[in-house]
Chain A
Amino acid sequence: MIRLALALLLCLATLPARAAIEIEEVTTPGGLSAWLVEDHSIPFVALEIRFRGGAALDPADRRGVTNLMTGLLEEGAGDLDARGFSRATETLAARFGYSAGDDTVSVSAQMLTENRAESVDLLRDSLIAPRFDPDAIERVRGQVLSGLRSDRTDPRAIAGREARALIYDDHPYATDSAGTPESVAAITRADIVDAHAAALARDRVHISAVGDITPDELAALLDRLLGELPETGAPLPGEADLDMPGGTKVVSFETPQSVALFAQPGIDRDDPDFLTAYVLNHILGGGGFESRLMSEVREKRGLTYGVYSYLAEKDAADLWMGSVSSANDRIGEAIEVIRAEWTRMREEGVSAEELADAKTYLTGAFPLRFDGNAQIASITAGMQMDGLSPDYVTKRNDMVEAITLEEINRVARERLDPGRLTFVVVGTPDGVTDSIN
């Protein structure tokens, strides 16, 4: 593969806006609301359910409890123990996925039309009536601890951990959403039950459905599926105080290639300049060979396989982040080039041609993403989490087109902040001195 796929880094602003989909807003008799894209061409429906909150709801001494709780939802529910639940899911050939991130607990489901009612009952039990059996808790705890053990000596994981600790201080974001070996070891069943009540509530849920289902069928399905969830969950944490002092922190670790993460303050999704900053980032390091970072660091100098930057817009913090990996004797040069490009873009802005190219790419790539039921469900649930309305889908490309050269260069001047651009480097980098420790 000539370059790594970037799916994980793409934020919502890349989403298609002139796609051939119609979003219908459905309100259930029970008072839940959802977005539906009806499409009867394949006999299954994809559901995407997002609960705002996620691992950031973890109590300070129980980091990882939301992640552990989420991992246990499919490990026994209602009358079924873990194996019974798994056999039932396999028999129906339903696909359920549960995951926890910093800001979100996500539930993804794909269910065949031919057995949808039974699949919904099963999914319902996992969300409303998970058992949290002691043996399942120990089994999944062991899995989580094993993952944390693996991360202990993984340079990329170390970089992520060190960057979190440096930037977020005492906010929940300061530790990995899976917790630490110590915090995970201390979690009790009662903590897990509390985390379930805190995270899965009706006041914070956003729902998308795509596929072979009518609005009435969806309304009934959702009341059955989620109607018995508690009305309210735990309060969300406050904004994080960000510590980005500039300079470089070196974490010494024996490995041939240094891994570097970098960050400066970002921009909120609701800020009027967000989309402009998004386009600016696309030109700076947003993926593809055309970005300045890729061109300067990889194409011209061969210093890395991949260098990217992205707007990391979290609920309680906004970062402008990036990553690069280079051999220990070359990472110093890579960092210098990135810093220089950051400064150059702030001072000189982008050219008219760069802006025009970014617009044609971003507006043209837009309908390409509306591809497949599960994909559309994920996109439209994300839009709801970002507080966007369904007509964003039709307006977004015009908003991109309307960005002027003057505007984007003003945002470059105001928002790019080379002085606060902070690097965390893990490896044994030659000639890179630590200015933070």
Chain B
Amino acid sequence: MRRLIAFCLLLLPALSPARADPVTSFALDNGMDVVVIEDHRAPVVTHMVWYRVGAADEPPGASGIAHFLEHLMFKGTETREPGEFSSIVARNGGTDNAFTSYDYTAYFQRIAADRLGLVMELEADRMVNLALREEDVRTERDVILEERNQRVENNPSGLFREQVSAAQYLNHPYRVPIIGWRHEITELDRDAALDFYTTHMTPNNAILVVAGDTTPEEVRTLAEEHYGALPANPDLPPRTRPQEPPQLAERRLTLRDARVSQPYVARSYLAPERDSGAQDKAAALTLLAGLLGSGQTSVLNEALQFESQIAVQTGAWYSGMSLDDTTFNLFVVPAAGVTLQDAEDALDEALAEFLETGPDPDHLARIKSQLRAQEIYDRDDAAGEARRYGRALTQGLSVADVQAWPDILQSTTAEEITAAAREVFDRRRAVTGWLMSPEVTQ
């Protein structure tokens, strides 16, 4: 049995391009970047438009506006009714959706390869012609409050993660939840959405990613036809956010909620992200997360589940793709009868021992062979590759950085991993959180 609770989607972060699948990139004259990933196994394409804007680019006090706008982008244009975008895609046998993160907002459709031009036309239309009715904005705000209820208010782990992030970042907007604080969501309105739209949803702030049964030539022709004529925004603001000051004091928090039946302890450390041309430290941290928390024989599992019976689940993850400082995360779900203090102590003991001894060479070799194999398995999922490039290009990396990443991982040494661990595992830059029920006394 591998995992009980979905603390994160992937223990090993998404890693590499499939080298055997050709990847082409170019730019349109208006500044829109284009990436094409060919996969001719099925007559399907994934068409994505990524914008270099996310929740961390919101004006202060308007948290949630990036995500709210994502919803409103389905509410019609000057020539299309609310919902018509999705119904046209559906009538053509396609599916569509969108998502918002701190550093990006993305819209995508999966559809038969011969309908690529159609979805480009639809997407180009809403990039410039969004038309919002006041009543639709109000109704959709209620939908978003229910979304927040479902993801966060009804879920103590969701509330807990918000509190940990807010404590982790002293100054950077990553401290604010992507969906927004409830009291600010209720104040979001049509004007705020349109301001955000006009400023950020422009071709020179966008990346088109097409994966599947197509060619770079076809994509270029269609993209020039549908996106090429759209005007760039010459006043696109530079992407600068408030950065973190030196973090000098450890933070600790406890969230008690009657809906918690299985308590756990989580630790989050501020950590460097992948930067263009400088991915070495992030590669070491990626391997560190694999060693500590991925698979049955991870360092934490060995110590807390096999050598002792402190935990029923442990984990470590690190996502290097981030525009600004990211985090390295650890958690321990204690076995029945084990206190959170004992679980945390055991975690710290295991980390201390790892910093002493460094990675076991066989273990590191196994992690690396899995990463090599992942390049093969990843080729089975062209849409996954499209997401990888979209994330990279909206978070400050280039196509070349993505393609260099697998080799950087393979060439990372045990010494580099230990050095990165020593640097990052500094409690002054960490948050330790306990999630527990009110009646449990520790």
Contacts and interface: CB of A to CB of B under 8 A. Distances in A.
Nearest to A373: B380
Contacts of A364: 91-94, 111-112
A381 B296 CA distance: 28
B368 to A, nearest CB: 10
A371 interface: yes
User: Which 9 residue pairs are nearest across A and B when measured between Cβ atoms?
Assistant: A364-B93, A302-B142, A93-B373, A86-B296, A71-B1, A257-B149, A302-B139, A305-B147, A90-B366
A327 B145 contact: yes
A307 to B, nearest CB: 10
B90 A288 contact: yes
Nearest to B93: A364
Given A112-B376, A289-B86, A325 B94 contact: no
A302 B138 CA distance: 8
Contacts of A361: 90-91, 93
Interface string A5-32: 1000000000000011000000000000
A289 B82 CA distance: 11
14 contacts: A42-B380, A74-B1, A83-B306, A142-B335, A153-B260, A257-B154, A305-B150, A357-B90, A367-B42, A368-B42, A368-B44, A368-B93, A368-B110, A371-B382
Contact of A289 (B4, B83, B93, B335): B83
Interface residues of A, number: 79
Interface of A: 1-3, 5, 19-20, 39, 41-44, 46, 71-72, 74-75, 82-83, 86-87, 90-91, 93, 95, 110, 112, 138-140, 142-147, 149-155, 254-257, 259, 288-290, 295, 298-306, 325-327, 330, 357, 360-368, 370-374
Contact of A290 (B5, B90, B302, B373): B90
B258 interface: yes
Contacts of B373: 93, 112
A84 to B, nearest CB: 9
B74 A289 contact: yes
Interface stretch (B95-103, B201-209, B274-282, B398-406): B95-103
Contacts of A143: 1, 4, 312-313
Prevailing SS type, chain A contact patch: mixed
B129 interface: no
Interface in B368-402: 369-370, 372-374, 376-377, 379-383
A360 B87 CA distance: 11
B149 A93 contact: no
B120 to A, nearest CB: 17
A75 B312 contact: no
B143 A5 contact: no
A71 B1 CA distance: 5
Given A139-B305, A142-B312, A368-B112, A303 B142 contact: yes
A1 B99 contact: yes
B154 A325 contact: yes
Contact of B153 (A257, A372, A374): A257
A256 B383 CA distance: 36
A290 B87 contact: yes
B377 A110 contact: yes
A361 B111 CA distance: 10
B358 interface: no
A1 B70 CA distance: 8
A152 B258 CA distance: 11
Contacts of B97: 1-3, 5
A36 to B, nearest CB: 16
A255 B259 contact: yes
A139 B43 contact: no
Given A145-B336, A357-B90, A140 B1 contact: yes
Interface in B307-344: 309, 312-313, 333, 335-336
Contacts of B91: 357, 360-361, 364
A368 B369 contact: no
Contacts of B43: 20, 367
B381 to A, nearest CB: 6
A93 B258 contact: no
Given A42-B380, A146-B333, A357-B87, A303 B306 contact: no
